[in-house]
Amino acid sequence: MQAEIAGVPTSPCPWLGILPNCPVKGPNCRDFAECPTEIPSNSLPGSAANLAEDGYAAVALRCCHTEMEQFVRREMDRQGLVICEEGALQGFLHWFDCTDDSQTFEKLQQGLIMGRSGLPPLCPWLGSVGQECPARGHNCPFVEVAEPAAHRRRTACR
């Protein structure tokens, strides 16, 4: 844990810094590596792959977050799910976008179930079509609306 915390300030999605220098990260920390230019011949695009284990594996071969995002969004549509927290989807994709993640279609489906239910340690980030998004508990992070005078009172990193 100490090694992980020590590496946070230089990670692609830093959340910890040493004051007064807070780390800089992209919006919603969606900084993925670029998709490879060479596409494996036995891979499939996320927009067309079968929503099953073979399709998932073929999309994962591309190691491309945008392809996997298309695949995951199609699976969410199939299950009647809607995204309540777009940033959570982007974080979820990091775990499934390439073969080196050692994931399966079954694990992806389980992750979506957890994203809907908010089973600990997660907060719900998915809802059902036609229903309100699930309530978020008091331990769930949220993005504050910027307050104009806040810079005079706060010094901690967000």
- Per-residue pLDDT tens digits of the chain, which is 158 residues long: 677 667 666 665 666 776 676 766 655 555 567 888 999 999 999 999 999 999 999 999 999 999 999 999 999 999 999 999 888 888 899 889 999 888 999 999 999 999 988 776 668 889 999 999 888 777 776 544 444 444 444 445 55
- 42 shares a domain with 17: no
- 92 shares a domain with 27: no
Q: How many domains does the chain fold into? A: 2
Is residue 108 situated within a structural domain?
yes
Strand, coil or helix: what is 83?
strand
The burial class, CB within 10 Å (0-12 / 13-18 / 19+), for 92 is buried
- 115 shares a domain with 81: yes
Is residue 140 situated within a structural domain?
no
The domain of 123 spans 38-131
Question: Quick one: pLDDT at residue 155?
Answer: 46
Is residue 154 situated within a structural domain?
no
99: number of Cβ within 10 Å = 14
Question: Quick one: pLDDT at residue 135?
Answer: 82
Is this structure's pTM higher than 0.75? Answer: no
Is residue 50 situated within a structural domain?
yes
Q: Concatenate the DSSP letters of all residues of 124-153 into one string.
A: --EEETTSPPPPPPTTS--PPPP-TTGGGT
- 93 shares a domain with 17: no
Question: Quick one: pLDDT at residue 85?
Answer: 87
Is residue 80 situated within a structural domain?
yes
Is residue 136 situated within a structural domain?
no
- 83 shares a domain with 27: no
- 13 shares a domain with 52: no
Cα angle for residues 143, 2, 65 (degrees, 5° grid)? 50
